[in-house]
Amino acid sequence: MDSFTHLFIGGAIAAAIAPAGHRRAAILAGAALNTLPDLDVLPLLLSDDPIVRMTWHRAATHSLLVLPLVALALWAWFRSRGGRVAQAPRAWFWIFQACLLSHPLFDAFTIYGTQLFWPLPVPPTMWSSVFIIDPLITLPLVLGCVVAAWLGARPGAKRAVVASLAFVGVYLGWSLVAKSIVEREAERSLAAIGLADAPRFTVPMPFNTLLWRVVAMTPDGFVEGERSIVADRGPIRFTHHPSDIEALDAVRGQPQVARLLWFNHHFTKAQVRDGQLVLTDLRMGAEPDYSFRFAVAEHDGEGWRPIPARQLEWPWEASRRLGAMWTRIWHAPADPGL
C-alpha cells in the first residue's frame, strides 16, 4: 500500500480499539504506528545499489516474526511513562500490535513483495489482488477517520471507523474472489496454448479490480494477456514477447542478479541495450512500460562482466495508458492475440 493509505489504516484501527476519551489521540498514534515499518527506506537511501534498495525494502521492518516484539517494546515503554497508555493498557496493547502487524499484511495484498517471515529465507509474499494505490481502499478509511476525529468521544465515531474497516475488509475479500476468477480462466487459456505448467502471475491493473494482467513465462520469453471481468468472454488472448534467456542464464550466479530473481520470483525479462544486459521486473507495469529496470552486466567481447547495478528509466506514457485502461475495462479487444 502507498504511504498515504497506511496513515489512515492505522488511524482507523486505533480509533476502533481505543477508549472513547482517547479516540482522537489514537487516530494520530495509529497513523504513526502504521507508517513506522516504511521507515526502512531511510537507511536504504545510503546505498547506491538500486537492487539493494528494492529487495531489502519490506524486509525486517515488515516481518511478522519481528513486529510483535517491537510492538510489545513500544507499548511497555509508553506505559512506563504514564499517560493514556497507562490509563488503558489493554486497549493500547492491542492498538500497538494491530497497527504494526496490519502494515505488512496490507502490503502483502500487492505484488511488490513483502518478506513476512524475515529472517527466514522465504520468498516474498505477493498475493497481488490489489494495486498499490486503490481509491476504494483509501477513501473509506479517510472518511472514517475524519468522521471519528470530528465526533471524538461520541458513539458515532466508533461506528464510522468500524464501518470503514468493514468496507475495506469486504473489498479485499472481493479482490481475492476476482483474482480467483481470472486465474481459473488463465489456467484454461494457457493450457490451450501448451503452457499449462508455465510459471505465471495475475495482477490488477492500476486503481481497480475489474481489469487484470496475466503473465506466464515461456522457454524463450513470456506471454502477456488482459482479462476484464466485466467485458471479456472466452479464452484470454496472449501476446508473446521475447527475452534473452541465454544472456540471463550467463549472469544468474551473480549475487545481485540472484537476489533480484529471488525477490521477484524469477518474473524477469532480459534484453541487451547499448551493450549492457538489462533485467526488467515484469510484475510492475505492462509491456513495454515497467517501473523497475536494471543494467547489471556488460559484454566485454568474451562474455558478460558484472557492473554496479544501475536503474534505468524509459519513457512511460501514463496518461495514454490510463485512458486506454478505462476503456478496456468495459470493452473486449477487437484483435486476437496469440
Nearest C-alpha neighbor of 57 from the set 329, 259, 288: 259
- 171 and 33 in a common domain: yes
- 210 and 83 in a common domain: no
- 115 and 87 in a common domain: yes
- 304 and 234 in a common domain: yes
Is residue 249 in a domain? Answer: yes
Span 171-229, pLDDT tens digits: 999 999 999 999 999 999 999 999 999 999 999 999 999 999 999 999 999 999 999 99
- 258 and 169 in a common domain: no
Is residue 59 in a domain? Answer: yes
Higher per-residue pLDDT: 323 or 44: 44
Q: Which of 142, 176, 210 is the last residue of a domain?
A: 176
The mean pLDDT of 107-130, rounded to a whole number, is: 97
> What is the C-alpha to C-alpha distance for residues 330 and 228, in angstroms, rounded to an integer?
7
Is residue 299 in a domain? Answer: yes
pTM of the model: 0.94
Q: Name the residue range of residue 260's domain.
A: 193-320
As for how many domains the chain has, the answer is 2
Q: Of all helices (H) and strands (E), which one includes residue 162? A: helix 155-192
337 pLDDT band (50/70/90 cuts)?
very low
Residue 337 contacts residue 310 (beta carbons within 8 Å): no
> What is the C-alpha to C-alpha distance for residues 96 and 34, in angstroms, rounded to an integer?
9
Residue 195 contacts residue 162 (beta carbons within 8 Å): no
Amino acid at position 232, single letter:
D
pLDDT(33) > 50: yes
> What is the C-alpha to C-alpha distance for residues 107 and 312, in angstroms, rounded to an integer?
25
Dihedral sign for Cα 17, 40, 315, 205, please. negative
Is residue 211 in a domain? Answer: yes
Is residue 116 in a domain? Answer: yes
- 197 and 48 in a common domain: no
- 138 and 259 in a common domain: no
Percent of the chain scoring above 90 in pLDDT: 93
- 203 and 171 in a common domain: no
End-to-end Cα, the chain, rounded Å: 33
- 154 and 215 in a common domain: no
> What is the C-alpha to C-alpha distance for residues 30 and 10, in angstroms, rounded to an integer?
4
Is residue 185 in a domain? Answer: no
Span 131-175, pLDDT tens digits: 999 999 999 999 999 999 999 999 899 999 999 999 999 999 999
- The residue with cell 468522521 is 147
- 218 and 168 in a common domain: no
Is residue 31 in a domain? Answer: yes
Is residue 284 in a domain? Answer: yes
Span 48-96, pLDDT tens digits: 999 999 999 999 999 999 999 999 999 999 999 999 999 999 999 999 9
334 pLDDT band (50/70/90 cuts)?
confident
- 112 and 21 in a common domain: yes
pLDDT(336) > 80: no
Q: What angle do CA 297, 299, 300 make, to 5 degrees?
A: 120
Q: Which of 103-107, 222-226, 242-246, 284-288 has the lowest mean pLDDT?
A: 284-288
- 73 and 157 in a common domain: yes
Q: DSSP secondary structure string, 43-57?
A: HHTT---HHHHHHTT
SS3 content of the chain, % helix, strand, coil (to 5): 50, 20, 30
How far from the centroid of its chain's Cα atoms is residue 318's Cα? Answer: 19
